[in-house]
């Protein structure tokens, strides 16, 4: 199979329900063809023509009940079904879905992403401190203390709504989430208005929206006309997308970092030794970019946290056109594809050494590291996310001692909507250093 010129997926509106159809074809010709990474589906299907799926599927509902009541078990079963071919199928509330476990098949899908082909479907303490960070970096001083509090409440409503069924009725969780999004957009719109005023006046940028606005103001001045993407409404949508990507995903990584440090004391000790060699909490000086680059082991640990517990374990997309998926199969319009990003040699072992200079698995198994996507769907904020996590780990282990309150099921995965430990990572904190550092951005 060669890469198709046909668009794959786009938004979920319209069209008949998707499904997998079987097409007749001579798969024996595979032997005579050049084998490239996108031929994996053909090679697998040459061995077995039947796609794995659950034995029992209810009319219309499909397996929606098990997906809602036991989501972790649902995806475990779907992954087991995908063992032989690298993908499996199911049926959820009127739609066929395809779960993709194979790294190579995932790369094939990612490689075909285009604007007209695919559309991405879209712990209180850790979330709150992470939200403070995100707000400051994205919109800075344009949010008052009162606005930050309202923002936090509305964002929590929005985030909760992502895990619920789409019942848009008064007092239902989804309705509350939809209304919260409208209020969040208004807040961002006000931030964009304030930023545009400052940038037109020639002030220095102090947050992400300022840098976007500064460039937009420059282009407006050069073109001497109002550009279609320069309205406050257009610009305020970008910080919202970044916030959604950064907030829930980074909160998940913060929690898993603490969880894994607590359960791997040898890793914790090595991180503390490395950070102490590079700087001191008594200096009251922010960690520099150069110091960050020197934290080789902490960076390796950060990469392994994200590999071992990718915040977004699945990357759903919806087929907008019939698409030749393999020699004998076509994915029809409307099918939902779930791409798993958790596929790596000895993937169930937590080993920061994978990313050491000696092993260099980030190079050897680069194609398996899909936590940030691949191809056109590669996360533009991945460097920010990694640096953010390295800084958090370095500061957290330096100034605090912590002890996890472990229970029998505390390490089980919970969706909220990204993954986090079932207990929310309950820990006792105490000061480790003689005094807390006095840090400021000014």
C-alpha distance from residue 328 to each of 7, 19, 21, 64, 305 (Å): 18, 14, 8, 28, 38
- Those residues with Cβ within 8 angstroms of residue 299's Cβ, 6 or more apart along the chain or in another chain: 292, 355, 386, 390
Judge whether 335 and 319 are in contact, CB under 8 Å.
Answer: yes
Phi and psi torsions of 100, nearest 5°: -110, 120
- Burial class (CB within 10 angstroms; exposed 0-12, middle 13-18, buried 19+) of 402: middle
- Inter-residue contact 110 to 373 (CB < 8 Å): yes
> How many Å separate Cα 190 from the centre of its chain?
27
CB atoms within 10 A of CB 19: 17
Helices 173-200 & 208-223 angle (0-180, nearest 10): 60
- How many Cα atoms occupy the beta-carbon half-sphere of 298 within 13 Å? 28
User: Would you say 339 and 78 are in contact if contact means Cβ atoms under 8 Å apart?
Assistant: no
Q: Is 425 within any annotated ligand binding site?
A: no
The dihedral sign for the CA sequence 250, 251, 254, 259: negative
Structure tokens at 67: 């997906």
Using an 8 Å Cβ cutoff, are 168 and 176 in contact? no
CA 59 to chain centre: 32
- Annotated binding site, which residues? 379
- Annotated binding site for heme, which residues? 379
């Amino acid at each position: 199979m060669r890469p198709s010129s046909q668009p794959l997926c786009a938004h979920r509106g319209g069209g008949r329900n998707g499904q997998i159809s079987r097409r007749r074809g001579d798969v024996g010709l595979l032997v005579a063809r050049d084998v490239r990474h996108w031929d994996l589906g053909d090679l697998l299907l040459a061995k077995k023509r039947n796609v794995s799926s659950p034995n029992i599927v209810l009319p219309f509902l499909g397996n929606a009940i098990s997906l809602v009541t036991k989501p972790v078990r649902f995806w475990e079963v779907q992954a087991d079904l995908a063992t032989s071919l690298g993908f499996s199928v199911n049926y959820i509330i009127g739609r066929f879905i395809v779960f993709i476990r194979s790294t190579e098949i995932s790369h094939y899908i990612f490689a075909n992403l285009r604007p007209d082909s695919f559309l991405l479907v879209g712990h209180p303490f850790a979330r709150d401190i992470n939200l403070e960070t995100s707000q400051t970096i994205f919109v800075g001083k344009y949010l008052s203390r009162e606005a930050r509090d309202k923002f936090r409440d509305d964002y929590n409503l929005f985030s909760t709504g992502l895990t619920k069924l789409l019942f848009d009725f008064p007092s239902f969780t989804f309705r509350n989430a939809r209304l919260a999004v409208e209020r969040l957009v208004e807040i961002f719109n006000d931030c964009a208005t304030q930023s545009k005023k400052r940038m037109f006046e020639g002030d220095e940028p102090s947050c992400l929206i300022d840098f976007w606005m500064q460039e937009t103001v420059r282009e407006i001045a050069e073109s001497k006309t109002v550009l279609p993407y320069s309205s406050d409404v257009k610009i305020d949508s970008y910080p919202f997308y970044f916030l959604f990507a950064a907030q829930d995903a980074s909160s998940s990584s913060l929690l898993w970092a603490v969880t894994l440090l607590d359960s791997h004391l040898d890793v914790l000790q090595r991180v503390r030794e490395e950070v102490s060699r590079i700087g001191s909490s008594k200096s009251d000086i922010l960690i520099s970019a150069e110091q960050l680059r020197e934290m080789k082991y902490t960076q390796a640990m950060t990469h392994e946290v994200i590999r071992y517990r990718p915040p977004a374990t699945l990357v759903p997309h919806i087929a907008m056109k019939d698409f030749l998926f393999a020699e004998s199969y076509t994915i029809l319009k409307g099918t939902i594809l779930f791409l798993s990003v958790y596929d790596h040699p000895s993937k169930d072992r937590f080993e920061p050494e994978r990313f050491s200079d000696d092993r260099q698995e980030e190079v050897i198994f680069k194609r398996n590291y899909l936590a940030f996507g691949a191809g056109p769907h590669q996360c533009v904020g991945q460097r920010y996310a990694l640096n953010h996590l390295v800084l958090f780990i370095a500061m957290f282990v330096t100034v605090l001692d912590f002890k996890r309150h472990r229970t029998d099921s505390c390490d089980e995965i919970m969706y909220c909507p990204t993954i986090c430990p079932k207990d929310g990572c309950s820990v006792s904190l105490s000061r480790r250093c003689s005094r807390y550092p006095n840090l400021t951005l000014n």
